[in-house]
């Protein structure tokens, strides 16, 4: 626990000065603004919730009154039709007396049509229809008249006959239009049984009064005062009679059981959860129907206005914070800018760049540090230059010492060989040996110059191997595979001969199972570099021992190991640390030496 508390403290302690100041500004600016935003949001949310629920109450009551009026209008119209003498008389006619009396039936039809049409002259009743016995000649008209016998097989008929209510209400369905085009329209219908007033146990027909669904929906839509909320009417079977927004209705998936529990408490709003959202809902049963009018408003919309205010305050808080941070950044920048510049220059010196100087025109504490830094860098640079010159002179002296000795053992052995050849054989090879030896030393000394062409260096190697073959009976095969275009490249002299000599003496000669050995020299350009590779098929060595040659010399032969290490140091001194030798070897697979130097063409 203590460590977890100390971690932020330690982080803050080691933070830069500007970071500490900005954190202080954050605490002093954003904390009060966040507190103010929270308090304002809570107050506004409470007030806005009361306002929106009050408005929703008024709209709900207005729509409820309208629906009651429509329902009562249809019921009163059904009363008039029910007790009409002509309707009672015509529907009570006997089949055996009037089935074939088409004249009387036609008169009856006209009389009923005129009577029903009188109800279809307002927005209250869109269609007035009767279900008549199937033997009536106009029973299949399907406009003002329908076949009662065919209707008796439907679920709506079964519900009507089983109901003890005065009227039943059909869910929304489609009928043909009153106009000549007969376009289908959506209606909501009242259905009522007609008893014979003279014989009350006999049902002689049914009344269907329809009202346009769009008239109901128009009022329902006006009752919905929110964007994501919904007002809808649902019957006792769970059918949706009308709704203000079908998409919003699908989100809440109406629950009839929940609505039944709210019908008796129609003056208050209740909380309910639909899906992943919370709603406030209100429900009220519509008299003389099995309908329930419901309005549901999501909490997110109730708080939308307060959320907008909250978002505005957050934006203002962010703007104020950014402006304050900008000012703080500018003010602190004037103080820490020079420190950051000094730190940046120090890091450059740490990485090895000594051509660094910091300009300072202000003579305060930071100015004193800057002057001291500049003096220190100049002193370091002077010391490094002196060390470099001393090192270069030492290496040149070592090279001259190496050139002076040019392997006396090799010279002695060669002269001895010439001597024995002269004694044992009277052959012209002696002249060849003498000429080769003379040319070898001529190329080695090169009039004291350190830079030669790649072509001269390769000629030097060819002569050297030729002399060695005279000594070892042509047991060494030399192959050179380098593009002649690279022959003009300028290189340090004597960087191949010590490597080839190591390959012969420590590689090929020590391979007892092989009579002959080969040395291959290849080269190729690599971007701005020249890569030379000397590869032999000698005994090889472990990789760690190969790497030790460049690090500590070859313990087996200090003279040759010193020569290879000297080559590597000369290349790095002349061209840079990224250049030099790389050894690759393994026992029985020979040795591969890679030489990387810059590709320098004197003519370019």
Q: Which of 252, 278, 300 corresponds to the end of one domain? A: 300
Backbone φ, ψ for residue 450 (5° rounding): -90, -20
Helices H, strands E: what count in the chain?
A: 19, 17
The verdict on 85 and 207 lying in the same domain is: yes
Asked if the structure places residue 38 within a domain, the reply is no
The verdict on 412 and 281 lying in the same domain is: no
DSSP state letters, 408-448:
HHHHHHHHHHHHHHHHH---THHHHHHHHHHHHHHHHHGGG
The verdict on 561 and 435 lying in the same domain is: yes
Taking the C-alpha atoms of residue 347 and residue 355, their distance in angstroms, rounded to an integer, is: 12
Helix (H, G, I), strand (E, B) or coil at 569: helix
Range in 114-118, 306-310, 419-423 the model is least confident about: 419-423
Taking the C-alpha atoms of residue 266 and residue 282, their distance in angstroms, rounded to an integer, is: 6
Cα dihedral 549, 554, 558, 561, rounded to 10, equals -40
Taking the C-alpha atoms of residue 81 and residue 145, their distance in angstroms, rounded to an integer, is: 14
Tokens of 194: 């007609």
Edge to edge, the sheet with strand 277-285 lists 240-243, 230-234, 292-298, 277-285, 270-274
Q: Which of 300, 326, 359 corresponds to the end of one domain? A: 300
The verdict on 447 and 584 lying in the same domain is: yes
| Domain housing 243 | 51-300
**Residue 193, pLDDT score:** 92
Asked if the structure places residue 484 within a domain, the reply is yes
The verdict on 89 and 237 lying in the same domain is: yes
Tokens of 558: 């200090």
Residue 16 scores a pLDDT above 80: no
Q: Which residue has the tokens 């001393």?
A: 390
Asked if the structure places residue 506 within a domain, the reply is yes
User: Is the CB of residue 224 less than 8 Å from the CB of residue 231?
Assistant: yes
Mean pLDDT calculated for residue range 237-257 = 80
DSSP secondary structure letter of residue 469: H
Asked if the structure places residue 191 within a domain, the reply is yes
DSSP secondary structure letter of residue 119: T
Range in 63-77, 255-269, 374-388 the model is least confident about: 255-269
Q: How many CA atoms lie within 13 A of 189 on its CB side?
A: 21
Each residue of 392-403: pLDDT tens digit?
666 665 665 555
Taking residue 489's Cβ as centre, other Cβ atoms within 10 Å add up to 21
Q: Which residue has the tokens 């049914």?
A: 206
Tokens of 571: 């290349």
DSSP state letters, 494-547:
TSSHHHHHHIIIIIITT-TT-S-EEEEEEEEEETTEEEEEEEE-S----HHHHH
Backbone φ, ψ for residue 554 (5° rounding): -95, 110
**Residue 208, pLDDT score:** 93
Residue 555 scores a pLDDT above 60: no
Helix axes 304-350, 17-82, angle to 10 degrees: 160
Tokens of 380: 């370091």
Edge to edge, the sheet with strand 517-526 lists 476-482, 517-526, 529-536, 591-598, 580-585
Global model pTM greater than 0.85? no
User: Is the CB of residue 283 less than 8 Å from the CB of residue 293?
Assistant: yes
Range in 45-49, 226-230, 285-289, 291-295 the model is least confident about: 45-49
User: Is the CB of residue 478 less than 8 Å from the CB of residue 519?
Assistant: yes
All residues at 6 or more sequence positions from 215 whose CB lies less than 8 Å from its CB, including other chains: 70, 123
Asked if the structure places residue 27 within a domain, the reply is no
The verdict on 72 and 214 lying in the same domain is: yes
Q: Percentage of the chain surpassing pLDDT 70?
A: 81
**Residue 140, pLDDT score:** 87
Residue 424 scores a pLDDT above 70: no
* 37 or 442, higher pLDDT: 37
Taking the C-alpha atoms of residue 498 and residue 552, their distance in angstroms, rounded to an integer, is: 16
Nearest Cα to Cα of residue 137 among 113, 102, 95: 102
Q: Domain holding 583: CATH number?
A: 3.30.565.10
The verdict on 294 and 411 lying in the same domain is: no
**Residue 601, pLDDT score:** 82
Taking residue 146's Cβ as centre, other Cβ atoms within 10 Å add up to 21
Backbone φ, ψ for residue 34 (5° rounding): -65, -40
Q: Classify strands 529-536 and 591-598 as parallel, antiparallel or unpaired.
A: antiparallel
The verdict on 410 and 296 lying in the same domain is: no
Q: Which of 300, 316, 349 corresponds to the end of one domain? A: 300
- Which phi-psi region, left, alpha or beta, contains residue 601 (left: φ > 0; alpha: ψ -120 to 50)? beta
Asked if the structure places residue 321 within a domain, the reply is no
Taking the C-alpha atoms of residue 398 and residue 410, their distance in angstroms, rounded to an integer, is: 19
Q: Domain holding 64: CATH number?
A: 3.30.450.20
Q: Classify strands 292-298 and 451-453 as parallel, antiparallel or unpaired.
A: unpaired
Each residue of 136-156: pLDDT tens digit?
999 988 889 999 999 989 988
Q: Is 133 exposed, middle or buried (0-12, 13-18, 19+ CB in 10 A)?
A: middle
User: How many domains in the chain?
Assistant: 2
Taking the C-alpha atoms of residue 494 and residue 502, their distance in angstroms, rounded to an integer, is: 13
Asked if the structure places residue 362 within a domain, the reply is no
Helix (H, G, I), strand (E, B) or coil at 361: coil
Residue 118 scores a pLDDT above 50: yes
User: Is the CB of residue 278 less than 8 Å from the CB of residue 271?
Assistant: yes
**Residue 420, pLDDT score:** 58
Taking the C-alpha atoms of residue 118 and residue 87, their distance in angstroms, rounded to an integer, is: 14
Burial 9-28 (b: 16+ CB within 10 A, else e): eeeeeeeeebeebbeebeee
DSSP secondary structure letter of residue 486: G
* 48 or 206, higher pLDDT: 206
Asked if the structure places residue 91 within a domain, the reply is yes
Residue 596 scores a pLDDT above 70: yes
pLDDT level of residue 559 (50, 70, 90 thresholds): very low
Q: Which residue has the tokens 């090192």?
A: 391
Q: Percentage of the chain surpassing pLDDT 90?
A: 17
Taking the C-alpha atoms of residue 464 and residue 462, their distance in angstroms, rounded to an integer, is: 5
Nearest Cα to Cα of residue 478 among 487, 490, 469, 470: 469
């Amino acid at each position: 626990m203590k460590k977890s508390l100390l971690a932020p403290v330690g982080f803050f302690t080691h933070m830069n000065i500007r970071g500490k100041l900005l954190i202080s500004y954050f605490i002093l600016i954003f904390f009060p603004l966040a507190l103010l935003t929270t308090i304002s949001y809570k107050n506004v949310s409470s007030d806005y919730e009361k306002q929106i629920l009050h408005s929703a109450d008024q709209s709900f009551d207005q729509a409820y009154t309208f629906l009651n009026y429509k329902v009562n209008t249809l019921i009163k119209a059904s009363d008039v039709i029910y007790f009409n003498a002509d309707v009672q008389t015509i529907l009570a006619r006997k089949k055996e007396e009037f089935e074939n009396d088409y004249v009387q039936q036609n008169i009856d039809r006209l009389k009923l049509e005129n009577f029903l049409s009188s109800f279809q002259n307002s927005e209250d009743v869109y269609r007035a229809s009767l279900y008549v016995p199937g033997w009536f000649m106009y029973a299949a008209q399907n406009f003002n008249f329908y076949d009662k016998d065919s209707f008796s097989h439907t679920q709506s008929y079964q519900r009507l006959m089983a109901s003890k209510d005065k009227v039943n209400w059909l869910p929304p369905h489609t009928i043909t239009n009153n106009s000549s085009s007969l376009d289908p329209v959506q209606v909501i219908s009242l259905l009522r049984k007609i008893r014979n007033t003279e014989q009350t146990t006999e049902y002689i027909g049914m009344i269907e009064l329809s009202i346009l669904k769009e008239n109901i929906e128009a009022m329902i839509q006006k009752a919905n005062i929110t964007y994501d909320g919904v007002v809808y009417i649902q019957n006792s079977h769970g059918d949706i009679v009308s709704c203000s927004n079908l998409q919003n209705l699908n989100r809440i998936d109406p629950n009839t059981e929940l609505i039944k529990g709210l019908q008796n408490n129609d003056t208050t709003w209740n909380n309910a959860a639909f899906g992943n959202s919370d709603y406030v809902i209100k429900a009220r049963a519509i008299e003389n129907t099995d309908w329930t009018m419901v309005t549901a408003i999501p909490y997110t919309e109730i708080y939308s206005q307060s959320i907008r205010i909250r978002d505005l305050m957050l934006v203002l808080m962010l703007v104020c914070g950014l402006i304050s941070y900008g000012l703080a950044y500018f003010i602190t920048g004037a103080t820490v800018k020079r420190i950051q510049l000094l730190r940046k220059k120090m890091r450059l010196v740490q990485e090895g760049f000594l051509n660094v100087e910091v300009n300072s025109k202000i003579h305060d504490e930071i100015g004193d540090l800057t002057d001291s830094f500049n003096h220190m860098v100049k002193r370091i640079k002077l010391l490094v230059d002196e060390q470099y010159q001393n090192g270069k002179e030492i290496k040149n002296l070592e090279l001259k010492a190496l050139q002076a000795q040019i392997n006396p053992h090799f010279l002695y052995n060669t002269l001895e060989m010439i001597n024995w050849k002269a004694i044992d054989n009277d052959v012209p090879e002696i002249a060849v040996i003498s000429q080769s030896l003379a040319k070898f030393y001529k190329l080695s000394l090169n009039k004291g110059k350190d830079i030669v062409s790649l072509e001269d260096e390769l000629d030097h190697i060819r002569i050297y191997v030729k002399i060695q073959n005279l000594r070892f009976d042509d047991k060494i095969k030399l192959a050179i595979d380098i593009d002649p275009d690279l022959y003009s490249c300028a290189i340090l002299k004597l960087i191949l001969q010590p490597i080839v000599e190591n390959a012969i003496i420590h590689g090929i000669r020590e391979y007892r199972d092989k009579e002959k050995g080969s040395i291959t020299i290849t080269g190729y350009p690599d971007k701005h570099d020249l890569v030379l590779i000397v590869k032999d098929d000698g005994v090889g060595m472990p990789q760690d021992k190969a790497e030790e040659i460049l690090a500590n010399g070859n313990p087996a032969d200090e003279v040759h190991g010193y020569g290879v290490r000297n080559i590597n140091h000369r290349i790095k001194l002349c061209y840079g640390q990224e250049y030099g030798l790389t050894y690759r070897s393994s026992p029985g697979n020979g040795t591969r030496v890679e030489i990387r130097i810059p590709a320098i063409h004197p003519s370019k």
